[in-house]
Structure 1
């Protein structure tokens, strides 16, 4: 498999985590978003949206990280990232969607570049924009995690699920944008625990070959 992505892309980061947790071998193919390589014809032949990540297999070209994560779960179920029961799967998917649908999309590079370049928003205001939506999402997530008395060291149970694939890249992004993470002790503890696991360490942006 080949994973086309960028070291600091949150969506690429979440797919790296899932691949690593499942113990799958893949080749990282760098698409430099800072140089707009995702908009070049060569990459748009892989994904007409011009977005990373793209996961290429012998038979398939997969895009959109939520679909990639679900495909990995269905294709390589031995190390499952979803609970066995339907209620558990619903909760994991809901927590994941809080991050993947309601926090990340409005803070991704396309949106921020539009604010900067088209609307001439000052950088400090862009930073405040990011902080606002991350804080809103993390406040709700922290509350839900605190109310779950059966939760172990992770967002659900005692092993990583799809939620961590979404959460850990978002925590990385939150720190980049200066969010005060001390307001979210449970999220911080989960992030710290995840970084005792090699799958998460290896997926870290700073550990990628294209890290700048």
Structure 2
């Protein structure tokens, strides 16, 4: 596969997930930056690419555009299966998806930039309360997620076994994003350990916000 264009933003956790997935797969891509805080994702040019105005979006070499980070990651896994992002058995795949969705569907939707901006601009919520909101919703999921990971023998160096997969993409990106809101990671030993194992791999380290060309 060649000619991929990744439309993303350096700090977006969904973009971090997909950068790590592309890196794990060894896929080259062109980096198209869209500054969310400046509203570049709402430009007419970008809305033609992704009518939702969200990042990331992956433009294929034939011009087709894929949206939603986990849908794109699973597409990549289907057409470029090594190394796999999902395990072999239906039961194990369901576990990995559940771990991934716990972050992508429970934490991310209430803590993404447009929600936080809406709280600030429409309801007058100040920055300390915005941060408290963010930390609350991370904690609501990280506490049970820690239990689920620590209490299951299928958890290895990573969320499922000793190789990273779909759930690790989400966990890694979420922990990276937590840094900006001073979320206390001390109670989450298993999550911290998995994050460190991810960070030790170039595929994840090179997906970090500060490693991107649009980093500020």
Band of TM-score, shorter chain: over 0.9
Whole-Å separation in 2 of the counterparts to 1:15 and 1:42: 22
Shift of 1:173: 1.3
Whole-Å separation in 1 of the counterparts to 2:154 and 2:6: 35
Q: Kindly indicate whether residue 72 of structure 2 is the aligned counterpart of residue 107 of structure 1.
A: no
* Match among 3, 13, 17 for residue 14 of structure 1: 17
1:168 counterpart residue number: 172
- Scaled by the length of structure 1, the TM-score of the pair is 0.98
2:32 counterpart residue number: 29
Gaps of 5+ in 1: none
Q: 1:43-62, aligned counterparts within 5 Å?
A: 43-59=46-62, 60-62=64-66
Gaps of 5+ in 2: none
Give every structure 1 segment of 4 or more consecutive aligned residues whose post-TM-superposition deviation is greater than 3 Å: none
What SS does structure 2 have at the residue aligned with 1:45? Answer: helix
Q: 1:198-209, aligned counterparts within 5 Å?
A: 198-209=202-213
Whole-Å separation in 2 of the counterparts to 1:9 and 1:151: 27
Report if aligned partners of 1:54, 1:62 keep a CA contact under 8 Å in 2. Answer: yes
1:154 counterpart residue number: 158
Q: Give the paired residue count.
A: 212
* Match among 143, 146, 149 for residue 142 of structure 1: 146
Q: Kindly indicate whether residue 121 of structure 2 is the aligned counterpart of residue 117 of structure 1.
A: yes
Whole-Å separation in 2 of the counterparts to 1:43 and 1:126: 28
